[in-house]
Structure 1
Amino acid sequence: MKVLVTGSAGFVGYHLSLRLLSAGHEVIGVDALTDYYDVALKKAREDRLSAHTGYKARRARIEAPGLLRGMLVEERPDMVVHLAAQAGVRYSIEAPATYMAANLQGTFALLEAVRAVPVRHLLIASTSSVYGANTQMPYKETDKADTPMSFYAATKKATEAMGHSYAHLYDIPMTFFRFFTVYGTWGRPDMAPSLFADAILRGEPIRVFNHGDMRRDFTYVEDLVEGIERLMEAIPKVGQPVGEADSLSPVAPHRIVNIGNAEPVQLLDFIGSLEATLGMEAEKVMMDMQPGDVPATWADTTLLRDLTGVAMGTPVPEGVAKFAEWFREYHGL
């Protein structure tokens, strides 16, 4: 296949593009390489992708007028995987306008482009943050998600609704996947694993929010992209649900799928795995909960298994060890 991947130099976009290239597919990548975090890391990811003959990169903002439609006309991809977004719960409190542009305007530009130039399947990244104030766990795709706790979550929930309207009006097969606390090699430096590892190795204290009383459904990135790859061929069709857990819309080829490890882990246990791997104990500064955050996440992955047969399989200690090895090598620590 030929696949257009937006956000191809990002954390998940890099891993997915690499997986598709390794499987023999062509990948057309588009990424703006914004300076929200270290651009050198994004360039390093892109350089590794560019070593593959099947990869073609475009540097641009997806919300630029006519950009995506032009790329679809020129490249005629079979599928599109939309991963480009402004990420981060806390940054959305500081700079909400960037989320309006990247997440809402960018997704709107993509929907308009695919309406004009259809593809077999449009897959779009969402987030577990849309579950917001829900307390019943594990989270199911059919649960209400009407209480976002951050503007980031609100923009992602809005894109799901925007996508449903286009899927219904224009018969565009569309799958949204809600990611759960992704970590792993080539991860973002603003995410907790990188912040923790950097501080521990430099002998500096780490901040532990909600006094450590946090549980997260930590999902190793290679498991995540395997799930995405398999979902590419699980094309939604109206009237053809795969079981009682299916979130398939009754009026549109539109589905939402959780991608998580289905096993929440205490934050202090995650930190403990990192300490054990690095051979160093962290100095912990206990902090109150941050605005926009939630105390726990937990994915029900029944639908993912029904659609793909995939069950996330990397235990946290194993995933943390792989991440730590990469982190030390990349940063020379």
Structure 2
Amino acid sequence: MRVHLVGPVGLSDPARPSGGNVYDLRVAAALRARGHEVAVHETTVEDLSSLLGSLPEGAPVVIDGLVGSTSPHALARAGDRLRLVMLVHLPLGLGVAGSMPQRDPEARALAAVSAVVCTSGWTRDWLAGEYGLPSARLHVVVPGADKSPLAEGSATGERLLSVGAVTPVKGHDVLVAALASLIDLRWTWSLVGASVDADHATRLWSSLWRSGLDDRVTLAGALTGADLASAYAGADLLVLPSRHETYGIVASEALSRGIPVLATDVGGVREALGSASGTEVPGFLVPSNDPVALGAALRSWLTSPPLRTRLRSVAVERRDGLAGWDVAAASLERVLAGLSSH
């Protein structure tokens, strides 16, 4: 099968390693490993119609929602000649991080495609509830995870790591407020992620400086490959303080190394963390936008060796249950195989 995957400009840019970009590229690679030919296209909303018009009749096309969800007219024009699938990482109808919800164009765009792929059950349920999409057109293909060497972990558990773009939705400012309440304890925090919101990044650093925390914090910027792997290998705890996540692929990346996760209980994060032995979460879940709850969880982690030992054991058990990208690709393959031909 020859598949076309359409993503935003910058999809393959290593300086912009978002969870959505990682997902798109890893699924494309896994489909190729399963014997499919995959053409990856990067385009803008404005150029989507022209791109779709250039693709061969009857071709299966997977379109990232960042490009497709606000392009109902382009999808409607191409829907009769192409087999269109929308891949929704983050519903634009949510209007997160202060952006305006775009429900009307997204509803019309999703109605124009043959199938919708979501990266979590939470996203599937949200789309079904908000847009009344029939369940038969909604499919969940969760991100895969590569089994990586187990992180050794320090005796004190003091090495905290966050991975994600420096934007308000990721909640790093909430984490800074929580860390300010832990000045009496030993810890360091490394923040890995591109500064895509310069004003927010400046405010974040100013807050760190005013709180006297700047000497404990490393703003590492965007990392990929061996550098990102090294950041995970040196971490004791992944902290994901997001105001919203539809899944939280970085949680899977941490758990694939046996690193516990402290995260806000938003969107699909609970799915990403999963559980070991059917019940125990490999870390902590706290309310979003709550520095007191976040700080209390961090204090528990930093001051209780038995707790750290137990959660590391749970994280290792959870690691053994993570599915790889080949499983994600097989799920997407079934969606594509079920599309009606033109």
TM-score (norm 1): 0.36
TM-score (norm 2): 0.35
